[in-house]
Homo-oligomer: A and B are copies of this chain.
């Protein structure tokens, strides 16, 4: 076989035990995507244990003209980290690069390798009394490298920004197998182009992130969670503005969910008691992180909600009495995708528009949906504070979900994305493009931006070795 020489070279570079092929190992965990919608076929799965080994793998694949698909925890949602069906691509798994290299408490930084699980990094920070404020559903299995390669979002973006905003520096293996050491951990460094932000969010198409310096913050003295029933999305946006003015940077979470989203949670997880379930068309979950203490936090949050009830932007509200109740409220919010899955196949979106456009966008897109696909059920929820909604569509009650998707998925996508575009929004707020949306990008992305992206790809990966077909099809 033509690839035998490469496999032998790879075995010499990382050890035979860490070059897996279908002949000796079930490669499903690396070849199948998280949502189990795609099964690729890898030439091999290679698991280097150090930056030097990653560089060696890149050089060897380059010499043999073989493409590399970098993969972290394989929890991506857009087919950005699994091989295609050709059997010619090498999956470079970063999961053995898992060391925590340093924690600098005075500099408030954590230096970790790319394969470190997000939760492990969170715990390392917590043990030092610090907080790594990146939190997402997959945190128990996703890796820091994947978080950065996809610029992951999650529930604390409102205050702390996306993954890129938590990163001060990177170590990256480039397409020619060299290592860029950008792990300085500086808060200010104006000595040239910001390579860090170029690699972050590039979905493994420009280089392989092998380590990163992450920003930490002191742990807050108290966190409190509240739940409010709101009469409309306009009211939700007004409540957001009020909370931002009153709580300032203390507001660390602001999630919205429509009534159907909560009804599905109740139907499929009846043990979860949803507060104020039928009180209003939307519910909002607020989180306050306070630097003084619980009593202070409670007084602030109750004063805010009192004003919100009075001025009509909330119809009813509760503050979690204790940590267990707060966890339940977050658990309800996080159970919506699972409840959707229990309800049956559905059409998912991950869109953003300016916060001020949310009510108009939702009203117009929902009306168009009702007209185009009568009976389709909108499950609308997400990170309202960031303008990011998962505007998902379930088939009519009782209908055949698979048949519904076959008939309507493409049409629903086009309808939603066209409305997003009309409101100046993004067709991928936090999940990325990967292989799933690469073909759509030319329709929705500014053509000059796309041309610039292609120039950069050509400059940094001239032979197209890194994750071909993803992001830029």
Q: Tell me the A residues contacting B by CB distance below 8 Å.
A: 104-109, 150-151, 153, 157, 159, 161-162, 164-165, 174, 178-182, 184-195, 197-198, 200-202, 206, 217-218, 220, 237, 240-241, 244-250, 289, 291-292, 300, 352-357, 383, 386-388, 424-433, 437, 441, 444-446, 448-453, 455-456, 458-460, 471-472
Given the complex of chains A and B, what is the CA–CA distance between A393 and B196 in angstroms? 32
Given the complex of chains A and B, what is the CA–CA distance between A383 and B189 in angstroms? 13
Given the complex of chains A and B, what is the CA–CA distance between A188 and B190 in angstroms? 24
Number of copies: 2
- Specify which chain B residues have a CB less than 8 angstroms from the CB of A441 in the assembled complex: 191-192
- Specify which chain B residues have a CB less than 8 angstroms from the CB of A193 in the assembled complex: 198, 201-202, 206, 452-453, 456
A187 touches B157 (CB 8 A): yes
Given the complex of chains A and B, what is the CA–CA distance between A220 and B105 in angstroms? 28
Known: A191-B433, A200-B194. A180 touches B452 (CB 8 A): yes
Q: Smallest distance from the beta carbon of A295 to chain B beta carbons, Å?
A: 14
A186 touches B429 (CB 8 A): yes
Q: A184-B424, A246-B291, A248-B291 are in contact. List 4 more A-B contacts (CB 8 A).
A: A180-B449, A188-B383, A191-B441, A193-B456
- Nearest chain-B residue to A457 (Cβ)? B193
- Specify which chain B residues have a CB less than 8 angstroms from the CB of A104 in the assembled complex: 354, 356
Q: Smallest distance from the beta carbon of A250 to chain B beta carbons, Å?
A: 7
Could you pull out 9 A-B pairs where Cβ atoms are within 8 angstroms? A178-B448, A182-B449, A191-B426, A193-B452, A193-B456, A197-B198, A198-B198, A246-B291, A249-B250
A429 touches B189 (CB 8 A): yes
Given the complex of chains A and B, what is the CA–CA distance between A451 and B195 in angstroms? 11
- Specify which chain B residues have a CB less than 8 angstroms from the CB of A165 in the assembled complex: 161, 165
A426 touches B186 (CB 8 A): yes
Known: A180-B448, A218-B244, A448-B181. A453 touches B352 (CB 8 A): no
- Specify which chain B residues have a CB less than 8 angstroms from the CB of A452 in the assembled complex: 174, 180, 193, 195, 460
- Nearest chain-B residue to A441 (Cβ)? B191
